[in-house]
Structure 1
Protein backbone atom coordinates (compact mmCIF):
# COMPACT_ATOMS: atom_id res chain seq x y z
CA UNK A 1 0.00 0.00 0.00
CA UNK A 2 1.34 3.42 -0.96
CA UNK A 3 1.92 5.89 1.86
CA UNK A 4 2.35 9.66 1.60
CA UNK A 5 2.87 12.52 4.03
CA UNK A 6 2.97 16.29 3.98
CA UNK A 7 6.46 17.87 3.96
CA UNK A 8 8.22 17.65 7.35
CA UNK A 9 10.87 20.09 8.58
CA UNK A 10 13.95 18.69 10.33
CA UNK A 11 16.60 20.67 12.20
CA UNK A 12 20.29 20.15 11.49
CA UNK A 13 22.28 18.37 14.18
CA UNK A 14 19.36 16.34 15.55
CA UNK A 15 18.45 12.68 15.03
CA UNK A 16 14.96 11.60 14.00
CA UNK A 17 13.25 8.24 13.68
CA UNK A 18 10.28 7.55 11.42
CA UNK A 19 8.33 4.31 11.08
CA UNK A 20 6.42 3.84 7.84
CA UNK A 21 3.90 1.20 6.80
CA UNK A 22 2.94 0.35 10.37
CA UNK A 23 -0.73 -0.25 11.11
CA UNK A 24 -3.45 0.17 11.79
CA UNK A 25 -4.30 0.97 8.15
CA UNK A 26 -7.63 2.78 8.02
CA UNK A 27 -9.55 5.83 6.74
CA UNK A 28 -7.82 9.19 6.44
CA UNK A 29 -9.06 12.67 5.55
CA UNK A 30 -5.97 14.37 4.08
CA UNK A 31 -3.58 13.75 1.19
CA UNK A 32 0.20 14.23 1.07
CA UNK A 33 -0.12 18.04 1.15
CA UNK A 34 -2.76 18.04 3.90
CA UNK A 35 -5.56 19.04 1.51
CA UNK A 36 -9.03 18.08 2.85
CA UNK A 37 -10.56 15.13 1.02
CA UNK A 38 -14.26 15.90 1.52
CA UNK A 39 -15.51 19.41 0.77
CA UNK A 40 -18.46 21.51 -0.35
CA UNK A 41 -18.25 24.34 -2.90
CA UNK A 42 -21.57 26.09 -3.57
CA UNK A 43 -23.98 23.18 -4.16
CA UNK A 44 -21.39 20.52 -5.00
CA UNK A 45 -20.05 17.94 -2.56
CA UNK A 46 -16.70 16.43 -3.57
CA UNK A 47 -15.11 13.50 -1.75
CA UNK A 48 -12.31 10.98 -2.20
CA UNK A 49 -11.36 9.56 1.22
CA UNK A 50 -8.10 7.57 1.37
CA UNK A 51 -8.92 4.27 3.04
CA UNK A 52 -5.46 3.02 4.02
CA UNK A 53 -3.80 5.74 6.06
CA UNK A 54 -1.23 4.35 8.50
CA UNK A 55 -1.07 4.48 12.28
CA UNK A 56 0.83 7.79 12.18
CA UNK A 57 -1.99 9.43 10.23
CA UNK A 58 -0.30 9.52 6.84
CA UNK A 59 -2.54 9.18 3.81
CA UNK A 60 -2.45 5.90 1.91
CA UNK A 61 -4.11 3.82 -0.76
CA UNK A 62 -3.85 0.28 -2.04
CA UNK A 63 -5.22 -2.27 -4.44
CA UNK A 64 -8.77 -3.45 -3.75
CA UNK A 65 -11.19 -6.01 -5.12
CA UNK A 66 -14.27 -3.87 -4.35
CA UNK A 67 -14.88 -0.16 -3.75
CA UNK A 68 -18.12 1.67 -3.11
CA UNK A 69 -19.33 5.06 -1.87
CA UNK A 70 -22.94 5.99 -1.13
CA UNK A 71 -24.18 9.50 -0.32
CA UNK A 72 -27.55 10.00 1.40
CA UNK A 73 -29.41 13.29 1.85
CA UNK A 74 -32.12 13.21 4.52
CA UNK A 75 -32.21 9.43 4.19
CA UNK A 76 -32.49 9.35 0.39
CA UNK A 77 -29.69 8.02 -1.84
CA UNK A 78 -28.31 10.77 -4.09
CA UNK A 79 -25.18 8.94 -5.33
CA UNK A 80 -24.07 5.30 -5.34
CA UNK A 81 -20.80 4.58 -7.14
CA UNK A 82 -18.28 1.72 -7.40
CA UNK A 83 -15.36 4.02 -6.57
CA UNK A 84 -14.01 6.26 -3.81
CA UNK A 85 -14.52 9.46 -5.82
CA UNK A 86 -17.71 11.47 -5.88
CA UNK A 87 -18.68 14.91 -7.17
CA UNK A 88 -22.38 15.38 -6.47
CA UNK A 89 -24.65 18.39 -6.95
CA UNK A 90 -27.17 18.81 -4.12
CA UNK A 91 -29.86 21.37 -3.15
CA UNK A 92 -28.69 24.50 -1.34
CA UNK A 93 -30.90 24.03 1.74
CA UNK A 94 -29.51 22.64 4.97
CA UNK A 95 -29.87 18.86 5.24
CA UNK A 96 -28.60 15.78 7.05
CA UNK A 97 -26.06 13.81 5.02
CA UNK A 98 -24.60 10.34 5.41
CA UNK A 99 -21.51 9.38 3.43
CA UNK A 100 -20.59 5.69 3.39
CA UNK A 101 -17.30 4.32 2.02
CA UNK A 102 -16.54 0.59 1.81
CA UNK A 103 -13.53 -1.29 0.44
CA UNK A 104 -12.43 -4.92 0.32
CA UNK A 105 -9.06 -6.36 -0.55
CA UNK A 106 -8.29 -9.55 -2.46
CA UNK A 107 -7.90 -13.04 -0.96
CA UNK A 108 -4.11 -12.71 -0.72
CA UNK A 109 -4.34 -9.74 1.65
CA UNK A 110 -3.82 -10.27 5.37
CA UNK A 111 -4.46 -6.83 6.93
CA UNK A 112 -7.38 -4.38 6.71
CA UNK A 113 -9.13 -6.90 4.51
CA UNK A 114 -12.49 -5.13 4.81
CA UNK A 115 -12.89 -1.50 5.82
CA UNK A 116 -16.09 0.49 6.15
CA UNK A 117 -16.70 4.03 7.36
CA UNK A 118 -19.90 6.08 7.60
CA UNK A 119 -20.06 9.79 8.41
CA UNK A 120 -23.20 11.75 9.32
CA UNK A 121 -23.15 15.54 9.20
CA UNK A 122 -25.26 18.55 8.26
CA UNK A 123 -24.44 20.76 5.31
CA UNK A 124 -25.88 23.75 3.46
CA UNK A 125 -24.66 26.12 0.74
CA UNK A 126 -21.76 28.29 1.89
CA UNK A 127 -20.26 31.52 0.59
CA UNK A 128 -20.19 31.49 -3.24
CA UNK A 129 -17.05 29.93 -4.64
CA UNK A 130 -15.60 29.00 -1.25
CA UNK A 131 -14.43 25.42 -0.78
CA UNK A 132 -15.51 24.36 2.71
CA UNK A 133 -14.17 21.17 4.37
CA UNK A 134 -17.01 18.96 5.60
CA UNK A 135 -17.09 18.33 9.40
CA UNK A 136 -15.77 14.77 9.31
CA UNK A 137 -13.47 12.86 11.65
CA UNK A 138 -11.75 9.47 11.69
CA UNK A 139 -10.40 7.30 14.51
CA UNK A 140 -6.75 6.40 13.97
CA UNK A 141 -5.18 3.49 15.88
CA UNK A 142 -1.42 3.33 16.47
CA UNK A 143 -0.42 0.20 18.45
CA UNK A 144 3.22 -0.79 18.86
CA UNK A 145 3.56 -3.46 16.16
CA UNK A 146 6.57 -5.34 14.81
CA UNK A 147 7.83 -5.19 11.23
CA UNK A 148 5.08 -7.63 10.23
CA UNK A 149 2.37 -5.47 11.82
CA UNK A 150 1.85 -8.10 14.51
CA UNK A 151 1.49 -7.91 18.30
CA UNK A 152 2.06 -10.59 20.98
CA UNK A 153 -0.71 -13.11 21.65
CA UNK A 154 -1.85 -14.15 25.11
CA UNK A 155 -1.20 -10.95 27.04
CA UNK A 156 -2.63 -7.50 27.82
CA UNK A 157 -2.02 -4.99 25.06
CA UNK A 158 -2.50 -1.22 24.81
CA UNK A 159 -3.69 0.40 21.58
CA UNK A 160 -3.28 4.20 21.47
CA UNK A 161 -5.79 6.07 19.30
CA UNK A 162 -6.52 9.60 18.09
CA UNK A 163 -9.74 11.08 16.72
CA UNK A 164 -8.57 13.22 13.80
CA UNK A 165 -10.88 15.94 12.49
CA UNK A 166 -10.64 17.02 8.86
CA UNK A 167 -8.33 20.07 8.76
CA UNK A 168 -10.15 23.38 8.43
CA UNK A 169 -13.55 21.91 9.20
CA UNK A 170 -16.04 22.80 11.92
CA UNK A 171 -15.94 19.31 13.43
CA UNK A 172 -16.40 19.74 17.18
CA UNK A 173 -14.68 18.24 20.18
CA UNK A 174 -15.22 14.55 20.96
CA UNK A 175 -18.41 14.16 22.99
CA UNK A 176 -18.62 10.35 23.05
CA UNK A 177 -16.54 7.46 21.79
CA UNK A 178 -16.83 3.68 21.99
CA UNK A 179 -14.74 0.87 20.51
CA UNK A 180 -15.53 -2.83 20.06
CA UNK A 181 -12.98 -5.56 19.40
CA UNK A 182 -13.32 -8.88 17.59
CA UNK A 183 -10.95 -11.84 17.44
CA UNK A 184 -12.95 -13.81 14.83
CA UNK A 185 -13.02 -11.42 11.84
CA UNK A 186 -16.15 -9.62 13.02
CA UNK A 187 -18.35 -12.64 13.67
CA UNK A 188 -18.66 -11.57 17.32
CA UNK A 189 -17.76 -8.33 19.09
CA UNK A 190 -17.12 -7.23 22.65
CA UNK A 191 -16.75 -3.76 24.13
CA UNK A 192 -13.16 -2.65 24.64
CA UNK A 193 -12.05 -0.77 27.73
CA UNK A 194 -11.38 2.82 26.63
CA UNK A 195 -9.32 5.43 28.47
CA UNK A 196 -9.77 8.82 26.77
CA UNK A 197 -8.79 12.45 27.26
CA UNK A 198 -10.10 14.75 24.54
CA UNK A 199 -9.23 13.37 21.11
CA UNK A 200 -6.59 10.95 22.40
CA UNK A 201 -6.86 7.72 24.31
CA UNK A 202 -5.91 4.09 24.73
CA UNK A 203 -7.71 0.77 24.35
CA UNK A 204 -6.85 -1.85 26.96
CA UNK A 205 -7.15 -5.26 25.31
CA UNK A 206 -6.36 -8.84 26.27
CA UNK A 207 -5.20 -10.85 23.26
CA UNK A 208 -6.15 -14.53 22.98
CA UNK A 209 -3.35 -17.05 23.51
CA UNK A 210 -3.21 -18.11 19.85
CA UNK A 211 -2.22 -16.78 16.45
CA UNK A 212 -4.90 -14.71 14.76
CA UNK A 213 -5.96 -11.14 14.18
CA UNK A 214 -7.68 -8.21 15.84
CA UNK A 215 -10.60 -6.34 14.24
CA UNK A 216 -11.73 -2.93 15.52
CA UNK A 217 -15.07 -1.14 15.34
CA UNK A 218 -15.34 2.47 16.57
CA UNK A 219 -18.03 5.12 16.88
CA UNK A 220 -17.32 8.75 17.71
CA UNK A 221 -19.76 11.65 18.13
CA UNK A 222 -18.59 15.25 18.29
CA UNK A 223 -20.05 18.19 20.18
CA UNK A 224 -21.94 19.33 17.06
CA UNK A 225 -23.65 15.96 16.60
CA UNK A 226 -21.50 14.77 13.67
CA UNK A 227 -20.69 11.06 13.85
CA UNK A 228 -18.27 8.56 12.39
CA UNK A 229 -18.69 4.78 12.46
CA UNK A 230 -15.79 2.73 11.17
CA UNK A 231 -14.93 -0.95 11.03
CA UNK A 232 -11.56 -2.47 10.15
CA UNK A 233 -11.48 -6.24 9.80
CA UNK A 234 -8.04 -7.71 10.59
CA UNK A 235 -6.65 -4.39 11.78
CA UNK A 236 -3.46 -6.13 12.93
CA UNK A 237 -2.15 -9.64 13.56
CA UNK A 238 -1.36 -11.41 16.81
CA UNK A 239 1.23 -14.15 17.06
CA UNK A 240 2.74 -16.39 19.73
Structure 2
Protein backbone atom coordinates (compact mmCIF):
# COMPACT_ATOMS: atom_id res chain seq x y z
CA UNK A 1 0.00 0.00 0.00
CA UNK A 2 1.22 3.47 -0.91
CA UNK A 3 -0.14 6.78 0.33
CA UNK A 4 0.46 10.12 -1.42
CA UNK A 5 -0.41 13.74 -0.80
CA UNK A 6 -3.72 15.02 -2.16
CA UNK A 7 -1.82 17.52 -4.30
CA UNK A 8 -0.09 14.61 -6.07
CA UNK A 9 -3.15 12.43 -6.54
CA UNK A 10 -4.69 14.30 -9.50
CA UNK A 11 -1.56 13.98 -11.64
CA UNK A 12 -1.17 10.29 -10.81
CA UNK A 13 -4.81 9.56 -11.67
CA UNK A 14 -4.41 11.40 -14.98
CA UNK A 15 -1.36 9.31 -15.84
CA UNK A 16 -3.28 6.15 -14.98
CA UNK A 17 -6.16 7.10 -17.31
CA UNK A 18 -3.68 7.62 -20.17
CA UNK A 19 -2.26 4.16 -19.52
CA UNK A 20 1.14 5.58 -18.65
CA UNK A 21 3.45 3.31 -16.68
CA UNK A 22 3.94 4.46 -13.12
CA UNK A 23 7.46 3.93 -11.77
CA UNK A 24 7.95 4.16 -8.01
CA UNK A 25 11.38 4.56 -6.44
CA UNK A 26 11.03 3.57 -2.77
CA UNK A 27 13.62 3.34 -0.02
CA UNK A 28 13.30 1.50 3.28
CA UNK A 29 14.53 4.59 5.11
CA UNK A 30 15.26 8.10 3.81
CA UNK A 31 18.72 9.25 2.79
CA UNK A 32 18.04 12.72 4.13
CA UNK A 33 16.54 14.03 7.35
CA UNK A 34 15.50 17.39 8.77
CA UNK A 35 15.36 17.98 12.54
CA UNK A 36 13.70 21.37 13.00
CA UNK A 37 12.39 23.07 16.11
CA UNK A 38 10.34 26.28 16.24
CA UNK A 39 9.63 27.29 19.84
CA UNK A 40 7.30 30.08 20.98
CA UNK A 41 8.13 30.63 24.65
CA UNK A 42 5.69 32.41 26.96
CA UNK A 43 3.01 32.88 24.31
CA UNK A 44 0.43 31.09 22.21
CA UNK A 45 0.98 31.85 18.50
CA UNK A 46 -2.01 33.40 16.75
CA UNK A 47 -0.55 33.38 13.23
CA UNK A 48 0.98 30.95 10.80
CA UNK A 49 3.24 28.25 12.23
CA UNK A 50 5.15 27.88 8.98
CA UNK A 51 8.88 27.63 9.66
CA UNK A 52 11.45 28.08 6.91
CA UNK A 53 14.96 28.16 8.43
CA UNK A 54 17.89 29.41 6.41
CA UNK A 55 20.26 26.43 5.90
CA UNK A 56 23.26 28.74 5.68
CA UNK A 57 22.47 30.39 8.99
CA UNK A 58 20.17 28.21 11.11
CA UNK A 59 21.02 24.58 10.29
CA UNK A 60 24.08 22.37 10.59
CA UNK A 61 24.58 19.94 7.72
CA UNK A 62 25.70 16.51 8.93
CA UNK A 63 26.92 13.74 6.66
CA UNK A 64 26.29 10.75 8.89
CA UNK A 65 27.57 7.21 8.32
CA UNK A 66 25.77 4.26 9.90
CA UNK A 67 28.16 1.31 9.90
CA UNK A 68 27.38 -2.37 9.48
CA UNK A 69 29.21 -5.25 7.80
CA UNK A 70 25.87 -6.66 6.55
CA UNK A 71 22.43 -5.35 5.54
CA UNK A 72 20.31 -5.07 8.65
CA UNK A 73 17.63 -2.99 10.31
CA UNK A 74 17.14 -0.82 13.34
CA UNK A 75 15.73 2.46 14.54
CA UNK A 76 16.83 5.76 15.98
CA UNK A 77 15.85 9.29 16.86
CA UNK A 78 17.29 12.70 17.67
CA UNK A 79 15.40 14.23 20.62
CA UNK A 80 15.32 17.97 21.26
CA UNK A 81 15.68 18.42 25.02
CA UNK A 82 14.32 21.79 26.22
CA UNK A 83 15.92 23.53 29.18
CA UNK A 84 12.64 23.30 31.09
CA UNK A 85 12.07 19.53 30.98
CA UNK A 86 12.24 16.15 29.29
CA UNK A 87 11.85 15.50 25.59
CA UNK A 88 9.51 13.16 23.75
CA UNK A 89 9.92 11.44 20.42
CA UNK A 90 9.11 8.44 18.26
CA UNK A 91 11.78 6.11 16.88
CA UNK A 92 12.14 6.04 13.10
CA UNK A 93 12.96 2.85 11.18
CA UNK A 94 16.48 2.74 9.74
CA UNK A 95 18.34 0.40 7.39
CA UNK A 96 22.07 -0.16 7.80
CA UNK A 97 24.63 0.40 6.41
CA UNK A 98 23.83 3.81 5.00
CA UNK A 99 25.05 7.38 4.65
CA UNK A 100 22.45 10.05 5.34
CA UNK A 101 22.47 13.82 4.97
CA UNK A 102 20.92 15.42 8.05
CA UNK A 103 19.98 19.06 8.53
CA UNK A 104 19.76 19.95 12.23
CA UNK A 105 18.50 23.12 13.86
CA UNK A 106 20.54 25.18 16.27
CA UNK A 107 18.51 25.23 19.50
CA UNK A 108 18.02 28.43 21.44
CA UNK A 109 17.17 28.98 25.10
CA UNK A 110 19.45 26.29 26.52
CA UNK A 111 18.00 23.43 24.49
CA UNK A 112 20.14 20.46 23.47
CA UNK A 113 19.89 17.40 21.24
CA UNK A 114 20.06 13.79 22.46
CA UNK A 115 20.48 11.04 19.88
CA UNK A 116 20.42 7.24 19.99
CA UNK A 117 20.32 4.41 17.45
CA UNK A 118 19.62 0.69 17.83
CA UNK A 119 20.73 -2.07 15.47
CA UNK A 120 18.21 -4.87 15.93
CA UNK A 121 18.27 -8.27 14.25
CA UNK A 122 18.71 -11.97 15.07
CA UNK A 123 22.07 -11.24 16.76
CA UNK A 124 20.41 -9.05 19.39
CA UNK A 125 19.89 -5.34 19.96
CA UNK A 126 22.88 -3.00 20.11
CA UNK A 127 22.06 0.53 21.24
CA UNK A 128 24.43 3.49 20.99
CA UNK A 129 23.48 6.67 22.86
CA UNK A 130 25.27 9.99 22.55
CA UNK A 131 25.61 12.86 24.97
CA UNK A 132 23.73 16.13 25.07
CA UNK A 133 24.93 18.61 22.45
CA UNK A 134 23.84 21.50 20.27
CA UNK A 135 24.52 22.10 16.59
CA UNK A 136 25.91 25.20 14.92
CA UNK A 137 23.95 26.89 12.17
CA UNK A 138 25.81 27.22 8.87
CA UNK A 139 28.35 24.54 9.76
CA UNK A 140 29.04 21.31 7.82
CA UNK A 141 30.43 18.27 9.63
CA UNK A 142 30.52 14.47 9.64
CA UNK A 143 29.25 11.95 12.16
CA UNK A 144 29.16 8.17 12.50
CA UNK A 145 27.34 5.47 14.44
CA UNK A 146 28.29 1.82 15.12
CA UNK A 147 31.74 2.70 13.77
CA UNK A 148 35.09 1.30 14.93
CA UNK A 149 36.64 1.25 17.37
CA UNK A 150 33.88 -0.07 19.60
CA UNK A 151 35.22 -0.40 23.14
CA UNK A 152 34.24 -0.23 26.84
CA UNK A 153 33.67 3.30 28.13
CA UNK A 154 31.59 5.46 30.43
CA UNK A 155 29.01 7.63 28.68
CA UNK A 156 26.91 10.45 30.11
CA UNK A 157 23.69 8.75 28.94
CA UNK A 158 23.87 6.27 31.84
CA UNK A 159 24.70 6.56 35.53
CA UNK A 160 28.46 6.78 35.82
CA UNK A 161 30.90 5.57 38.49
CA UNK A 162 30.44 7.21 41.88
CA UNK A 163 31.24 7.09 45.60
CA UNK A 164 28.56 8.01 48.14
CA UNK A 165 28.68 9.43 51.65
CA UNK A 166 28.40 5.91 53.15
CA UNK A 167 31.67 4.96 51.39
CA UNK A 168 29.97 2.72 48.87
CA UNK A 169 31.63 2.58 45.46
CA UNK A 170 29.61 1.77 42.33
CA UNK A 171 31.10 1.55 38.84
CA UNK A 172 29.16 0.87 35.64
CA UNK A 173 30.53 0.70 32.10
CA UNK A 174 29.09 0.24 28.62
CA UNK A 175 31.09 -2.38 26.65
CA UNK A 176 30.37 -1.25 23.07
CA UNK A 177 30.72 2.52 22.90
CA UNK A 178 31.52 3.35 19.28
CA UNK A 179 34.15 5.50 17.62
CA UNK A 180 31.77 8.27 16.55
CA UNK A 181 32.41 10.53 19.56
CA UNK A 182 34.09 10.50 22.95
CA UNK A 183 30.76 10.68 24.79
CA UNK A 184 29.04 7.54 23.54
CA UNK A 185 27.48 4.69 25.52
CA UNK A 186 27.03 1.31 23.80
CA UNK A 187 25.12 -1.76 24.99
CA UNK A 188 24.42 -5.16 23.41
CA UNK A 189 21.80 -7.39 25.02
CA UNK A 190 23.43 -10.66 23.89
CA UNK A 191 27.01 -9.98 25.00
CA UNK A 192 28.65 -11.19 28.21
CA UNK A 193 30.66 -9.18 30.73
CA UNK A 194 32.31 -9.80 34.06
CA UNK A 195 33.70 -7.07 36.31
CA UNK A 196 35.93 -7.12 39.39
CA UNK A 197 37.23 -4.45 41.79
CA UNK A 198 40.54 -4.65 43.64
CA UNK A 199 42.02 -2.55 46.44
CA UNK A 200 45.68 -3.03 45.79
CA UNK A 201 45.92 -6.76 45.05
CA UNK A 202 42.90 -7.69 47.19
CA UNK A 203 39.65 -8.57 45.43
CA UNK A 204 36.86 -6.60 47.12
CA UNK A 205 33.89 -7.11 44.76
CA UNK A 206 32.97 -8.87 41.53
CA UNK A 207 29.95 -9.43 39.30
CA UNK A 208 28.86 -11.31 36.19
CA UNK A 209 27.79 -8.11 34.42
CA UNK A 210 29.03 -4.59 33.62
CA UNK A 211 28.51 -3.12 37.12
CA UNK A 212 30.55 -3.72 40.26
CA UNK A 213 29.87 -2.37 43.76
CA UNK A 214 31.92 -2.33 46.98
CA UNK A 215 29.92 -1.63 50.15
CA UNK A 216 31.03 0.36 53.23
CA UNK A 217 34.67 0.63 52.26
CA UNK A 218 37.29 2.42 54.45
CA UNK A 219 37.17 6.22 54.41
CA UNK A 220 40.88 6.78 53.77
CA UNK A 221 42.10 7.46 50.26
CA UNK A 222 43.22 4.15 48.74
CA UNK A 223 44.22 2.93 45.28
CA UNK A 224 41.66 0.81 43.43
CA UNK A 225 41.62 -1.11 40.17
CA UNK A 226 38.56 -2.23 38.21
CA UNK A 227 38.85 -5.00 35.60
CA UNK A 228 36.21 -5.81 33.00
CA UNK A 229 36.15 -8.52 30.33
CA UNK A 230 33.47 -8.50 27.63
CA UNK A 231 32.79 -10.76 24.65
CA UNK A 232 30.31 -11.35 21.85
CA UNK A 233 29.98 -14.11 19.27
CA UNK A 234 32.73 -13.80 16.63
CA UNK A 235 30.51 -15.72 14.19
CA UNK A 236 27.91 -12.94 14.39
CA UNK A 237 29.95 -9.77 14.90
CA UNK A 238 32.65 -8.46 12.61
CA UNK A 239 34.59 -6.34 15.10
CA UNK A 240 35.27 -6.03 18.86
CA UNK A 241 34.65 -9.68 19.63
CA UNK A 242 36.55 -9.46 22.94
CA UNK A 243 37.86 -6.70 25.17
CA UNK A 244 39.83 -6.46 28.39
CA UNK A 245 39.97 -3.21 30.35
CA UNK A 246 41.62 -2.10 33.60
CA UNK A 247 41.02 1.28 35.23
CA UNK A 248 43.18 2.51 38.13
CA UNK A 249 42.15 5.34 40.45
CA UNK A 250 42.44 6.60 44.02
CA UNK A 251 39.34 7.25 46.12
CA UNK A 252 38.58 8.37 49.68
CA UNK A 253 35.62 9.65 51.67
CA UNK A 254 33.65 12.50 50.12
CA UNK A 255 32.51 15.66 51.89
CA UNK A 256 29.81 15.22 54.51
CA UNK A 257 26.36 15.91 53.08
CA UNK A 258 27.52 15.59 49.49
CA UNK A 259 25.37 12.50 48.91
CA UNK A 260 27.49 11.12 46.09
CA UNK A 261 30.31 12.28 43.87
CA UNK A 262 31.40 10.94 40.49
CA UNK A 263 34.57 8.92 40.21
CA UNK A 264 36.89 10.20 37.51
CA UNK A 265 38.40 7.51 35.28
CA UNK A 266 40.78 7.73 32.33
CA UNK A 267 38.99 6.75 29.14
CA UNK A 268 40.79 5.87 25.90
CA UNK A 269 39.23 6.77 22.57
CA UNK A 270 40.45 5.38 19.25
CA UNK A 271 39.99 6.94 15.82
CA UNK A 272 40.46 5.16 12.48
CA UNK A 273 38.95 5.82 9.05
CA UNK A 274 37.19 2.64 7.86
CA UNK A 275 34.55 1.85 5.28
CA UNK A 276 30.96 1.19 6.32
CA UNK A 277 31.78 -2.47 7.02
CA UNK A 278 34.49 -1.49 9.50
CA UNK A 279 37.40 -2.39 7.21
CA UNK A 280 40.59 -0.65 6.02
CA UNK A 281 42.45 -1.50 2.80
CA UNK A 282 45.22 -4.05 3.44
CA UNK A 283 48.77 -3.32 2.32
CA UNK A 284 48.38 0.41 2.85
CA UNK A 285 49.25 2.89 5.57
CA UNK A 286 46.53 4.28 7.80
CA UNK A 287 46.48 6.81 10.61
CA UNK A 288 45.15 5.79 14.00
CA UNK A 289 44.47 8.34 16.73
CA UNK A 290 44.45 7.72 20.47
CA UNK A 291 43.24 10.10 23.15
CA UNK A 292 42.65 9.63 26.86
CA UNK A 293 41.01 11.81 29.49
CA UNK A 294 38.54 11.62 32.34
CA UNK A 295 34.86 12.16 31.60
CA UNK A 296 34.71 15.45 29.71
CA UNK A 297 31.14 16.28 30.82
CA UNK A 298 32.13 16.54 34.49
CA UNK A 299 33.13 19.82 36.16
CA UNK A 300 36.80 19.40 35.26
CA UNK A 301 38.82 17.14 32.97
CA UNK A 302 42.16 15.45 33.55
CA UNK A 303 44.12 14.54 30.42
CA UNK A 304 46.59 11.69 30.10
CA UNK A 305 50.27 12.61 30.42
CA UNK A 306 51.59 9.52 28.63
CA UNK A 307 50.31 6.66 26.50
CA UNK A 308 51.44 3.51 24.69
CA UNK A 309 49.93 1.57 21.81
CA UNK A 310 50.45 -1.96 20.49
CA UNK A 311 48.84 -3.79 17.58
CA UNK A 312 48.18 -7.45 16.89
CA UNK A 313 47.34 -9.20 13.64
CA UNK A 314 46.64 -12.62 15.22
CA UNK A 315 43.79 -11.82 17.64
CA UNK A 316 46.11 -10.91 20.50
CA UNK A 317 48.45 -13.91 20.42
CA UNK A 318 51.39 -11.56 19.78
CA UNK A 319 51.74 -7.78 20.01
CA UNK A 320 53.91 -5.18 18.31
CA UNK A 321 54.65 -1.80 19.90
CA UNK A 322 53.71 1.23 17.79
CA UNK A 323 55.40 4.63 17.88
CA UNK A 324 53.09 7.47 18.93
CA UNK A 325 53.35 11.14 17.94
CA UNK A 326 51.89 13.64 20.38
CA UNK A 327 49.17 15.78 18.80
CA UNK A 328 48.06 17.82 21.80
CA UNK A 329 46.87 17.53 25.36
CA UNK A 330 46.02 13.88 26.00
CA UNK A 331 46.12 13.07 22.25
CA UNK A 332 48.44 11.01 20.05
CA UNK A 333 48.52 9.52 16.56
CA UNK A 334 50.25 6.58 14.91
CA UNK A 335 51.06 5.70 11.30
CA UNK A 336 50.27 2.01 10.79
CA UNK A 337 51.64 -0.05 7.89
CA UNK A 338 48.99 -2.73 7.46
CA UNK A 339 49.60 -6.34 6.34
CA UNK A 340 49.21 -7.08 2.64
CA UNK A 341 46.87 -10.02 3.13
CA UNK A 342 43.16 -9.06 3.20
CA UNK A 343 40.56 -10.76 5.35
CA UNK A 344 42.34 -10.37 8.68
CA UNK A 345 41.89 -8.02 11.59
CA UNK A 346 43.78 -5.42 13.60
CA UNK A 347 43.59 -5.68 17.38
CA UNK A 348 44.64 -2.78 19.62
CA UNK A 349 46.08 -2.50 23.12
CA UNK A 350 46.51 0.93 24.67
CA UNK A 351 47.66 2.24 28.03
CA UNK A 352 47.56 5.75 29.48
CA UNK A 353 48.54 7.46 32.72
CA UNK A 354 47.66 10.77 34.37
CA UNK A 355 48.13 12.57 37.67
CA UNK A 356 46.69 11.32 40.98
CA UNK A 357 47.16 7.65 40.17
CA UNK A 358 44.86 7.54 37.16
CA UNK A 359 45.67 4.70 34.76
CA UNK A 360 43.90 2.74 32.05
CA UNK A 361 44.75 -0.30 29.96
CA UNK A 362 42.43 -1.47 27.22
CA UNK A 363 42.71 -4.36 24.78
CA UNK A 364 40.26 -4.68 21.89
CA UNK A 365 40.39 -7.87 19.81
CA UNK A 366 39.43 -7.28 16.15
CA UNK A 367 39.15 -3.51 16.50
CA UNK A 368 38.74 -3.23 12.71
CA UNK A 369 39.10 -5.46 9.69
CA UNK A 370 41.34 -5.64 6.61
CA UNK A 371 39.92 -5.84 3.09
Q: TM-score, normalised by structure 2?
A: 0.60
Point out where structure 2 has 5 or more consecutive residues left out of the alignment.
Answer: 1-125
Equivalent position of 1:187 in the other structure: 317
Secondary structure at the aligned position of 1:174 is classed as: coil
CA contact (8 A) 1:135 1:170 kept: no
Q: Does the alignment pair 1:206 with 2:337?
A: yes
| Structure 1 residue ranges, 4+ long, deviating more than 6 angstroms after superposition | none
Equivalent position of 2:77 in the other structure: none
Q: Deviations over 1:138-197 (max 9, x none)?
A: 111111111001111001110122213124377643222100000110011000121123
Equivalent position of 1:37 in the other structure: 160
Query: Do the aligned partners of residues 153 and 81 (structure 1) sit closer, same or farther apart at CA in structure 2, a change above 3 Å counting?
Result: same
CA-CA distance at 1:31 after TM superposition = 3.1
CA distance in 2, matches of 1:94, 1:148: 46
CA-CA distance at 1:85 after TM superposition = 1.5
Q: Does the alignment pair 1:52 with 2:176?
A: yes
Moved more, 226-235 or 78-87: 78-87
Which of residues 110, 113, 125 is equivalent to 2:241? Answer: 113
CA-CA distance at 1:220 after TM superposition = 0.4
Q: Does the alignment pair 1:226 with 2:358?
A: yes
CA-CA distance at 1:102 after TM superposition = 0.9
CA contact (8 A) 2:348 2:364 kept: yes
The alignment yields a C-alpha RMSD, in angstroms, of 1.9
Q: How does 1:106-145 map to 2 (within 5 A)?
A: 106-107=233-234, 108-128=236-256, 129-145=258-274
Q: Deviations over 1:81-128 (max 9, x none)?
A: 101112321121221111111101123222101111101111111113
Point out where structure 1 has 5 or more consecutive residues left out of the alignment.
Answer: none
Equivalent position of 1:164 in the other structure: 293
Secondary structure at the aligned position of 1:119 is classed as: strand
Q: Deviations over 1:35-69 (max 9, x none)?
A: 66211112011111111111122211114443100
CA contact (8 A) 2:159 2:172 kept: no
CA contact (8 A) 2:223 2:251 kept: yes
Secondary structure at the aligned position of 2:272 is classed as: coil
CA distance in 1, matches of 2:169, 2:159: 12
CA contact (8 A) 2:130 2:155 kept: no
Q: Aligned pair count?
A: 237
CA distance in 2, matches of 1:158, 1:2: 27
Answer with 1 or 2: which has the greater Rg: 2
CA distance in 2, matches of 1:147, 1:232: 19
Moved more, 163-172 or 219-228: 163-172
Equivalent position of 1:93 in the other structure: 220
CA distance in 1, matches of 2:294, 2:171: 15
CA distance in 2, matches of 1:22, 1:29: 17
Higher relative contact order (CA 8 A, sep 6+): 1
